[in-house]
Structure 1
């Protein structure tokens, strides 16, 4: 993981440090935003292996020049910035809605039906939340989704809601026909979207099988704020919630999510409806669901936790080393922290197209294939160490 440290080259005494990114340390490009001593630093893209210089101006346009250097993996970079004396204005409706402190710890009942042929997915989400102060607007995060219908339910009485898409702020505003009093509320939204090719949100991945045919799967990568690309939600880490996820998929496909499969029932048109157990409270960026022509190893019981590896069929034979490492780690850390693993199962899922090394989705950890699948008889020590890490 790349670590970045920024420092000013002028004499104003402004200094600060940027956060570390979620990608590989060999990433070609990085960008960031840092707040320092009342200033807001907005950096342009910079290259980790070269020096780039430039100048920025303050918000008043007075030409207050700053040049900042940044070190990434011991490589020095210089990049132009703009220093803003005031933060941007809050997006509209933010203060008078259920968004924010007015909807803590909700519960989501999410149903998704992805079509791997057309790349379209249909969805329904029912959210149980709490209104802490009277409001007429419910605001959630949503991006690249089409809302077909929405309604609110208070005291068992449903009321239609007018959906307003705020694409610039990645928000969905639901306008109630009358004010919502403080208390429980149920939010119902029917929506649709498309599997994208950007390796984030709910996206399309593919591989070529042993017969030379392309096989398609749908998978997720929600960190940091891309759950909103798959379903309307409060897509912020602090807004932890429980999730009951249901997937409607072709009967020939394998599907997995964060929790154990609770039941599977036949559906129309050669499909099946797979319901997963409700998760523990967690952030939206840890939600995961993967569907495709994949194989799964028989579960190994690790002190009550079922452990499996999910991979494309022609690489399933490369899973034993990862299973051995995972068994050791589950037992070691449960003993070290004197605390059991919190999930009801652990699946390690190898994804053909994956932007990072791995993603720590609770109960459904996704990996780049080379970070999980390996043949110990032919692998080098660094390749084995990469899986262990």
Structure 2
């Protein structure tokens, strides 16, 4: 995997504006991999393609298998255009473009990318993403640098008995099918998903749905602490609204207490993950 340099990041930021990610994850592909289909809507900036036969840049992806990639509806040559974690995009004209990438991604057991955990207490499976620091390409194809923010629309296929959580309110749209509300522009490292048969405690405050989530084998302990946790959360929100002119800009606030988490917490907008 190539390491993004500061010079490369500066050049890419001068070349492209990223508008939107449509990320569709299939969590029903077995124990080792999951499906990831990403559509990226982006534009080449004015002047970036002048005198060069079109601009060139790249997206990042670290798949188990890259099945196909299309730029503006035309298939890319994966043998020539993909390697070392980079999907090269060549000859880009000024204006809007669309990149579509279909891949099988490996589950993580070390808390990077999409972590998969089987609870020894009852055999239930739980998943959660950790896209920080540079692990978003283990979940979806992207221009992975923090200043290239974009709207995220995430959809998920999961076992029917599971709950799915995301940066925006996740709604069940059919058997095992979920769609998360579109977000304000986010950096790629803040995209977040959690899925599994979570035990949840939900409430509402200041017009926002709040949720606490934990694996079922720890449900009784969450229930014992839920009121204290929610009261602290309410008081923090109220205080922030007193101190800052801008209100909380997201549509919900979930806190998922997840297993085998490398950090104390990751403050993903709308879905904070914490070590359980």
Match of residue 246 from structure 2: 339
Of stretches 217-226 and 310-319 in structure 1, the one that deviates more from structure 2 is 310-319
Question: For residue 304 of structure 1, what is the aligned residue in structure 2?
Answer: 207
In structure 2, the residue matched to 1:295 is 199
Q: Deviations over 1:84-135 (max 9, x none)?
A: xxxx9969xx59xx94322223200000002374221011111110012333
Number of residue equivalences = 261
Question: Which residue of the partner structure matches residue 281 of structure 1?
Answer: 185
Cα distance, 1:353 vs structure 2: 1.1
Runs of 4+ in 1 over 3 A off after TM superposition: 88-91
Which runs of 5 or more residues in structure 1 are unaligned? 1-87, 267-271, 370-389
Residue-by-residue CA offset, 1:230-268 (whole Å, 9 max, x unaligned): 1110111111111000000110111111101245123xx
Where relative contact order (Cα < 8 A, 6+ residues apart) is larger, the structure is 2
TM-score (ref. length: structure 1)? 0.63
Point out the structure with max Rg over C-alpha.
1
Tell me the alpha carbon deviations over residues 171-219 of structure 1, each in whole angstroms, 9 at most, x when there is no partner.
Answer: 22245xxx3310100111111111011111111123233xxx3222111
Q: Is the 8 A contact 1:116 1:218 kept in 2?
A: no
Correspondence for 1:363 among 250, 270, 276: 270
Shift of 1:138: 4.3
Corresponding residue number in structure 1 for 2:68? 149
Higher helix content, 1 or 2: 2
CA contact (8 A) 2:71 2:100 kept: yes
Cα distance in 1, alignment partners of residues 120 and 158 from structure 2: 21
CA RMSD of aligned residues (A): 2.4
Which residue pairs with 1:238 in the alignment? 147
1:129 corresponds, among 39, 42, 56, to 42
Gaps of 5+ in 2: none
**Structure 2 residue corresponding to 1:220, chosen from 111, 129, 135:** 129
* Matching residue within 66, 75, 79 for 1:160: 75
Give TM-score, length-normalised by structure 2: 0.87
